[in-house]
Amino acid sequence: MAEVVILGAGLSGLSAAYHLKNNYEVYEKEEKVGGLCRSINIDNFLFDYGPHILFPKDKYVSRLIRRLLGKNLHIQSREAWIYHKSCDVYTRFPFQSHLFSLPIPVVKDCILGFFNTLKKEDKKPKNYAEWIIWNFGEGIADHLMIPYAKKIWTIHPRNMNFEWVWNRVPRLSMDELLDGALQDNPRLFGFNTEFWYPLHGAIEGLPLSFSSKVKNVHLKKDVKKVYLRKKCIEFSDNSKVHYENLISTLPLPDIIKCIDDVPTEVKKAAQSLKNNSVYCVNLGIKREKISPYHYIYFYEPDFLFHRISFPMSLSPHTTPKGYSSVTTEISYSRYKKISRENIIEGVIKDLIKAKILFPDDNIVVSDVVDIKCAYVIYDLNHRKNVKKIHGFLRKHRIFPCGRFGEWEYFNMDHSIASGKRIAEEINDIYKK
């Protein structure tokens, strides 16, 4: 019997273990720790599960990450751009603050639309599509933000709330809009203008640095059943373990499926939760520096991917000398099905269309990673459903934790903070 059992050894599970004062055991279904922050090595090309850069805002978490990564911390300024195929132009990210060099009718639409938002009536937005128009106007919404939102979230933004936006979508003044529309303004906007990344070992360097401080991690332990009354977990190898308190970082629908006696309304709430999935197509190319950027966004339906990134730019130690690497992200879900078949060929074709690859490039590595649970989708019932499920789990001493336990749009730093928060809650229970 462990006082605390932690399910999942991603960043949130590792952070919970690190901050607990009680005895604990961690169970992870994969062969290594890290969850979404694992990295893959293919012929000395390192790829993450989609690009993972750090931009922590919380003071405690920032200090902790600095301490964990030590000399392995590499700090850079973001180089993020947007490609517009319709006019074959690159503009700086984010779109709204860098309209310069777009066709004049587009710039005019965006400025006039933004101007109209300044005389806001009291009609507050009720969904994400309305939020975009309310903040940026019809021009910016129609030319980029709504097409991009549809591409990444796989549902129309009118069916989403905007609770998750926080400072992820930078807002701006008329002055700033004009500064970026009348000239090439190099000023960086947004909350990740400077970012951190491990110099060596790709993003997996972060969970690995954590795990050397965390004990009792059991790998290849896939949770099959949770028995609420007996407070017992059964794994797919039929082994069992008892707990007093359980921290679960599993996706909420998965943990609910492991429990037999779930009330119908909780089961229904879990079935109603929405997430997207992401195929990452990773390529290694025998040509140096195929791009000077970190990220490029593609909002047009002409391209399979919504974003591409270059591991070689995040750290030179991810890619053999004389070569380049690129990760492309393709969002899909039950609402927008995309077949994995021929996806590599499709991506290469689109990268040539975007002039990132040349038709005669020598592609030495190609691989697809399927992230089944990638981003939580904030549909209009998100909060109500999550509340119902959390209420049920917590009544049975199951503490949901991390990006998919809390079912929130958590970045790495938020997931670390979530582990800490839950550990402290449990530490307090034992103090009493």
Closest approach of ligand FAD to the CB of residue 160, in Å: 17
Closest approach of ligand FAD to the CB of residue 62, in Å: 12
Residue 425: CB atoms within 10 Å: 15
Read off the DSSP letter of residue 155.
S
Q: Are the C-beta atoms of residues 81 and 92 closer than 8 Å to each other? A: yes
Classify strands 39-42 and 73-77 as parallel, antiparallel or unpaired.
unpaired
Beta bridge partners of 398: 246
Closest approach of ligand FAD to the CB of residue 358, in Å: 27
> Given the complex with ligand FAD, which of 24 and 404 has the nearer CB atom?
404
Read off the DSSP letter of residue 310.
-
> Given the complex with ligand FAD, which of 80 and 250 has the nearer CB atom?
250
Closest approach of ligand FAD to the CB of residue 65, in Å: 10
Number of helices and strands in the chain (H, E):
15, 18
Helix, strand, coil: what percent of the chain each, to 5?
35, 25, 40
Is-cis flag, bond preceding 320, omega within 30?
no
Q: What are phi and psi of 380, to 5 degrees?
A: -70, -15
Closest approach of ligand FAD to the CB of residue 287, in Å: 25
Beta strands in 270-410 (DSSP E): 274-285, 295-297, 307-309, 324-332, 363-377, 398-400
> Given the complex with ligand FAD, which of 221 and 420 has the nearer CB atom?
221
Q: Is 121 exposed, middle or buried (0-12, 13-18, 19+ CB in 10 A)?
A: exposed
> Given the complex with ligand FAD, which of 42 and 373 has the nearer CB atom?
373
Closest approach of ligand FAD to the CB of residue 206, in Å: 9
Which residues bind to ligand FAD, rule: CB under 6 A?
7-13, 27-30, 35-37, 50-54, 221-223, 249-250, 254, 278, 329, 371, 374, 402-404, 410-413, 415
Residues ≥6 apart with Cβ < 8 Å to 317: 46, 199, 200, 201
Closest approach of ligand FAD to the CB of residue 12, in Å: 4
Closest approach of ligand FAD to the CB of residue 29, in Å: 4
> Given the complex with ligand FAD, which of 114 and 410 has the nearer CB atom?
410
CA distance 393 to 28: 20
> Given the complex with ligand FAD, which of 250 and 344 has the nearer CB atom?
250
